Structure 1
Amino acid sequence: MKKTILILCFLVLILPLVTITSLSAENQGFTVASCSLPSQFSWRDINGTDYTTPVKNQAPAPTCESYGLCASLETLMQYTLGEVYTPDLSETHLYFYAGGTYERGYVNIMDAANYLIEHGVPDEGCYPDPHRAFDYPYESLPGWENRTTKITEWGWVEHDQESIKTALIEHGPLAICVHFMKDFLYYRGGVYRHRWGGSAGGHVMCMVGYDDTEQCWIVKNSAGTTWGEDGWVRIAYDEDMFADWYGPGTGIMYIDGVHGNLKPDVPKVHIETPDFFHTYVRGRAFSTLFRSLPIQKAAARIIGDLTVQVTAENTNSVEFYLDSLIQYTDDEAPFTWELHASRGLHTLEVRATNGSNISLDLRDIYVLT
């Protein structure tokens, strides 16, 4: 997404250019010309347009690298096409196909970025996230290769404020590798500064902007909308958080050169009910109950009968499957099916078609009665 941006330099009446020499993935770096940067910038407000996509929830899987990269890529897709259409990429495809495993607990973010160059990542309908905390056999829909978005390059950004700010403007949202402390888990709002607790591990998120007035970075997390500021966090400039796990000068990654099938003609399908991390008692939804039971953390708990409710766009019909066996086909919205299942763990899957392509969504469910 190489572009030239005009920025007002202080105390002068001309608009000099901020220039960046963008290097290839092999060189992994760039240099920044000296010029005053705007005091605020965010991909949530580019001339009044929010090019970011909705906050997602990776739990309980360790897939933050792919969530951070896809968050950046989805924003660049919308900016490239000049419209807000809420693309939804398959983080799980990127994670597994680039070599990640849940047992190991991560995917090498450089391998994931190189995968984006060589193969790209398809939409979520090719491989929806099952929110499982364990490895399992996986395969995206046949033909996923025709539904991918790719990049031409990626690189590392220096950790000083000017380099980060310039990279945000020139290249787009950044995937940031961070050390986080225990109090970060309990963040609810405001500008985050570490106050208590020791190290709680490493994480990857998507940085989309900065604010010099608040002296903070604007960051999109992948912990759902109940965490932080509707899933977002503002992190103080002075926080020593960037992690150079991949060697000196690493930890902040830009991607660029978005191309491919950015807006494929495919159905968009989403199972509204049942949802992950919920319990349903005769159709009434609650936050997950029976947490102490040895049941998959994200699987919906179901007591009594339940109407499966699906929203779908660009769709002619929706097929409902239970444990890979077709149960019902609905040809008219609203797409619903009355679930009656035996006690125990099941996989609910829906397949939406528009006559040309198919998209999937799925839920693991546990029927208690």
Structure 2
Amino acid sequence: MSRLNNNRAAVEAGEAKVNVAILGAGGIAHTMADTLTKMAADPRYASWIHPYAVAARDLDRAQAFADQWGLDKAYGSYEDLVADPDVDLVYIATPHSMHAEHAILCMKAGKNVLVEKSFTANTAQAREMLAVAKETGLLCTEAIWTRYMPSRGLINEIIDSGEIGEVQSASANLCYPVVGKARMTDPACAGGALLDVGVYPLNFLDMAIGADHGRTVDHFETSMVAWPETGVDAQNNTTLYYSDGTMGVSTSSMLVTSDRGGYVWGSKGYLVVTNINNPEAIAVYDNDHKLVRNVEVPPQLTGYEYEVADAAAALLDGKTECEAMPHADTIRIMELMDAIRERWNLRFPFEE
């Protein structure tokens, strides 16, 4: 058990803060370090969130990272990081093919984990991680930031109000030209568009028309274009058919740039979300395609602060999951992505 699990009183009394460490020192790790630094300077978080440490497989790299962001500690191995008794929450920032190994290392050392999406490479790994969370009583939650953002509630409020009528269709896309990143085309790193960018439109649909509204996927149709030689998906399209006849279309690619739009269509109008990966605006239109209103999305530090705050609050309350992304939701999305890859006959080397 971590030193602060189920110990909210110590933090509220000003006797301690939640020390957050970062495992990995790549691009997404820098985004989290930026977030933590800004949280430490923000009155909403400064009294209870502390940017504490980083670990890389090279001490010099870790120290340079720590110096850049003003972290207390730098470690040249992941094992050294989890041996530090003052680490409370570890953000897993390594490629998703390594998430299970690194999260389990942390939890078995008594550390809570916030695991960058995709949670794991497949459902089997996810279940193994969650079994360790149950065994240790530690927090293990997926860091897919859009699940924690205020925009989720704003979108659902519009849909639930009936303002756009009966919703029966939606689409979402997220595409970036990112084939220059080696991990994206490497099967050994669980590469491909689906797990890296496709997870966002699938989660958008799950929130906008799926599980958040009591719908379950009845069946799906999917297609993909393979990346030459390695065979991972370069771009893909999946149509989800829900039990009540509602339909959702998810598109992702690592070859091109898309508008990143989320669209929810109803019998009285529709809504448009600008950038499903980090919602910037929500617009409501009527049946005549006239703009009814714009819904403002609250200003944010980076957008990652919501997942950090939720995870820190959950561990202080002794929980093993976050309400915004409970384990059941993570497993449902992982199972869907497994089923999609099975339809493509796409397996990673470590799954053979």
TM-score, normalised via structure 2 length: 0.23
Higher helix share: 2
Higher RCO by CA contacts (8 Å cutoff, separation 6 or greater):
2
Q: Indicate the structure with greater strand content.
A: 1
TM-score, structure 1 normalization: 0.22
- State the structure with more CA Rg: 1
